[in-house]
Structure 1
Amino acid sequence: MLSIVICSVSPERLLQISQNIHDTIGVEYEIIAIDNKKKKWPIARAYNEGACQARYPFLFFVHEDVKFHSQDWGSIIEDKLNEPDCGVIGFAGSKVKLNCYSGWMQNKDWACSFFYQGGGARTELQVACVTLEHPFEEVVILDGFGMFVCKDVWSLYPFDEELLTGFHCYDLDFSMQIAASRQYKNYVCCSPKVLVEHFSLGKYNRSWCQDTIRLHKLKWNKLLPLKVDGLELSKKKERKFEERYFDYFVRDLIKADYPEKKTALKDFLAYPFSWKHLRHCVSNVYRYLKS
């Protein structure tokens, strides 16, 4: 029994996903649509309000630009959520989250995904770290276009309305809270019996940069890195990858014309010294001066 929470800004898309879910889910469900075209709430608040209204024990927070291509997928998800240590289930995530400004995607060797991605010139199947023997792959952090969780788990770790006042990073924070508890494990659903399509691409714009920096500085700076149990990551590699992805973020930040890019650049310059980091510092200062 699934309570499906949708933060909606398009009546047409809401109608489409509602019909698609009705035709494919195969279990008892309800749809709780938050009309955010009028309310204009942060998505963290919209999801929390929807979850409070839920009548069923399992929640599904989903964007309205999603379509399922398989039948009776609800029972497969419910079986997994019934496991006592199951946290959040999504369709794209990472086995590691380093202590640097970034989204969920960092190193491709840690990425895990199984979904159709539209929004570009063609629809592509995004597959990473998938085996037939494991329909669910453990991760620590998830992308938020579709997230399943038990209502009891959400009630312990609701979306952070106080910190997240926009439309980004709610998924990172939510999944990391639950992974960091060490009571629950998050998963990417890799089952061919649960095929989903996401129609839009993410936007790494000024507001995304702002929310990402705010999330890391005010909440997660001293709690990262996070990784799944059993994954080996030496301190040397950890530092190497943190510097690399921090560098990528700063480059994107400068391109996005973020108003506080000088502050973020200072954070990067203060990162522990290495010769490669020194070269990146020089390159980014040059980019900053040219911007």
Structure 2
Amino acid sequence: MSTTATPSWSVIICSIDAGKYAHIVQSYERLLAGRRFEIIGIHDARSLAEAYNRGIARARGDSLVFSHDDILILDDGFAGKIEQHLAKGFDLIGFAGAKAVSDGYWWSAGPAQQYGAVGHAPPGLPQLSLHVYGIDDVAISPAQVIDGLCMVAARRAVDTLQFDAETFDHFHLYDLDYSFSLHQRGLRVGVVHDIPLLHMSVGSFGAHWQEHRQRFVRKHAAALGRVADAPLPEPLKLRARVALFDDAQSLRRFWTHANLLRAGLAMRRMQR
């Protein structure tokens, strides 16, 4: 699906669920209305890294969105805000991440290093939950790594580096590896706080995730200050300040910078 003119936005979505795919396509069509865009669906992926590289090969836009199919962006100003952040010199933008990392998960360096805010709507639960991990006084914070639920890259980023589909050949750690690799090359990675987003999942941290965590540590051992083949400790628990809401409209109304900043400060005080 694409506009007829050369697009300024390319949205790449990996999905095997027709219903989820139709819903997320409709969402991006609304968010990007009035802009030139294309939507690239990958429905037979061997891994997310492999799928996203195929999407990059087809993409014509200057801004590339790598999106899960189970999110809902609640801000009609999404495109304008992302364009402003990219214009400030950021090369890769996400919604949660960390300014330092020591292991194969983005919150590994502890609560003081975490950034972001994400709403969650796991299936079967009666309420939505807003998780605030850490907020700065600005709308976007520099980071070393970001979570992959939705990432937006400037064309200069994907021209510099593609995803490592050989090492990360499943559906985990492609995001940390890509963002950390760009950071190590001197490109600017950031976490936005000014765009409300819902994720209809809580993630999966089973055997495949553990294997790819080890692969991440082996690949980046020198930068992490680790011994590549040393046994990995139990992961640190992800810390967040959590608030519950009955519906998306209520969560959206609460999502102001002042409220998020207060929640982030409260979360960090709890960890002292």
Shorter-chain TM-score tier: 0.7 to 0.9
The size of the alignment, in residue pairs, is: 223
Q: Which amino acid aligns with 1:103?
A: Y
Aligned twin of 1:105:
107
Aligned twin of 2:156:
152
| 1:150-208 deviations in Å (ceiling 9; x for gaps) | 122112111001211111100010000011112x22111111xx211111111110010
Structure 1 unpaired stretches of 5+? 226-237, 252-291
Question: Matches of residues 83-162 of structure 1 in structure 2 within 5 Å?
Answer: 83=88, 85-98=89-102, 100=103, 102-106=104-108, 107-119=110-122, 121=125, 122-131=127-136, 133-162=137-166
Work out which of the residue numbers 10, 13, 32 in structure 2 matches 1:3. 10
Kindly, what percent of the aligned residue pairs are identical? 24
Q: Which amino acid aligns with 1:195?
A: P
Work out which of the residue numbers 39, 42, 57 in structure 2 matches 1:31. 39
Following the alignment from structure 2 to structure 1, what is the Cα–Cα distance between the partners of residues 149 and 62?
Answer: 20
Q: Which amino acid aligns with 2:36?
A: E
Q: Say whether the 8 Å CA contact 1:25–1:72 is kept in structure 2.
A: no
Q: Which amino acid aligns with 2:9?
A: L
TM normalised by structure 2 equals 0.76
Counterpart check, 1:60 vs 2:61:
no
Aligned twin of 2:188:
185
Deviation at 1:25, TM superposition (A): 3.1
Runs of at least 4 residues off by over 6 Å: none
Deviation at 1:246, TM superposition (A): 4.5
Structure 2 unpaired stretches of 5+? 1-7, 238-272
Counterpart check, 1:249 vs 2:235:
yes
SS at match of 2:222: coil
Aligned twin of 1:198:
199
Counterpart check, 1:76 vs 2:76:
no
Q: Say whether the 8 Å CA contact 1:51–1:151 is kept in structure 2.
A: no
Deviation at 1:250, TM superposition (A): 10
Following the alignment from structure 1 to structure 2, what is the Cα–Cα distance between the partners of residues 94 and 223?
Answer: 15
Following the alignment from structure 2 to structure 1, what is the Cα–Cα distance between the partners of residues 236 and 107?
Answer: 15
Q: Say whether the 8 Å CA contact 1:87–1:179 is kept in structure 2.
A: no
TM normalised by structure 1 equals 0.72
Q: Which amino acid aligns with 1:204?
A: F
Q: Which amino acid aligns with 2:40?
A: I
SS at match of 1:222: helix
Following the alignment from structure 2 to structure 1, what is the Cα–Cα distance between the partners of residues 32 and 133?
Answer: 25
CA RMSD of aligned residues (A): 2.2
SS at match of 1:249: coil
